[in-house]
Structure 1
Amino acid sequence: MSVPATTSSTNAASTTSTSTSSTSESNTLDYNSFLQLLVAQLQNQDPTDPTDPTQFISQLASFSSVEQLVNANSRLDTMLTQAAISQGASLIGKNVTSADGTVSGKIVSIEINSSGSVATLANGSTIELASGVVIS
């Protein structure tokens, strides 16, 4: 009898690790997934001790607020990227000198990445466009 219990425990552990790995792959929860969880929670609640409905409304309101903040943040990121592209385009053809004065030249291209903008010069060197860089 101890063998089936061990097998059952092993199956439960592998199921847990599978759900954990899928959760770590995608840490996002969209609105529909949240509603599915909410409905499942309602369907599986203990009938002798039902959950307070105000808790569900509170959870839904909190999720809605977070979703709105994520959407606003996404729009802000898009606006910042567009501004960086616009600014970068206006810098092509201008001369740039690094903050320490060791690298200078004419900008031939701009790369925009998560850490900022990087200018590629005509001589092949690159300069991160940060504070202290002189553009003329």
Structure 2
Amino acid sequence: MNVTSATDKNTNSTDPSSSTSGTSSTGVDYNTFLQLLIAEMKNQDPTNPMDTSQYMSQFAQLSTVEQAMQTNTKLDSLLSSQSLSQADGLIGKTVSFTDSTGATFTGKVASISINSSGSVATLQDGTKVAVGPGLTISN
């Protein structure tokens, strides 16, 4: 019996939604799971079929994981939006901080940039300050 791999990149599928681009090579996405499930059903022994409750249990687990991933994506978007709102409130405020040498600086925030490591305030004199512990904000 010849069985085509569900993860084989040379499948004859013409459905563009069945592509697995953007997923980890070690993970199984929703479409791959469905392909495996169909292959299992096609190739099972007709005299001794598998229990359908196992299929439904696997499907429910995959659905739960997929929903958790979507929730994480939405939470990331929400956190980014919240960071932008907070950053907007800092522009024009006076901040003071002490650097690693012990010198104290004070200046007005001209702009805020947000990157993967956090927010960075640029003062009017061009000094860049990490927004976080040790930063005092005043009007």
TM-score by length of 1: 0.70
Which secondary structure state, in structure 1, belongs to the residue aligned with residue 133 of structure 2?
coil
The structure carrying a bigger helix percent of its residues is 1
Aligned to 2:93: 94
Instruction: Say if 1:94 and 1:107, in contact at 8 Å, map to a contact too.
Output: yes
Of residues 104, 107, 110 in structure 1, which corresponds to 2:106? 104
Which secondary structure state, in structure 2, belongs to the residue aligned with residue 98 of structure 1?
strand
Aligned to 1:56: 55
Which secondary structure state, in structure 1, belongs to the residue aligned with residue 104 of structure 2?
coil
Deviation string, structure 1 residues 14-69 (Cα, Å, up to 9, x no partner): xxxx97xxx9x731644333212221222233556543322211111011111111
- The amino acid that maps onto 1:86 is S
Structure 2 residue ranges without an equivalent (≥5): 1-7, 10-19
Distance in 1 of aligned mates of 2:59 and 2:121: 46
Distance in 1 of aligned mates of 2:127 and 2:68: 39
TM-score by length of 2: 0.68
Aligned to 1:26: 23
Of residues 123, 126, 133 in structure 2, which corresponds to 1:124? 126
1:51/1:102 CA distance change after superposition, 3 Å: farther
- The amino acid that maps onto 1:52 is D
- The amino acid that maps onto 1:104 is T
Distance in 1 of aligned mates of 2:71 and 2:23: 21
Question: Is the aligned partner of 1:37 residue 2:36?
Answer: yes
Distance in 1 of aligned mates of 2:107 and 2:115: 21
1:39/1:87 CA distance change after superposition, 3 Å: same
1:103/1:40 CA distance change after superposition, 3 Å: farther
1:109/1:54 CA distance change after superposition, 3 Å: same
1:41/1:105 CA distance change after superposition, 3 Å: farther
Choose 34-43 or 125-134, whichever is displaced more.
34-43
Distance in 1 of aligned mates of 2:94 and 2:135: 11
Distance in 1 of aligned mates of 2:35 and 2:28: 11
Structure 1 residue ranges without an equivalent (≥5): 1-17
Instruction: Say if 1:119 and 1:129, in contact at 8 Å, map to a contact too.
Output: yes
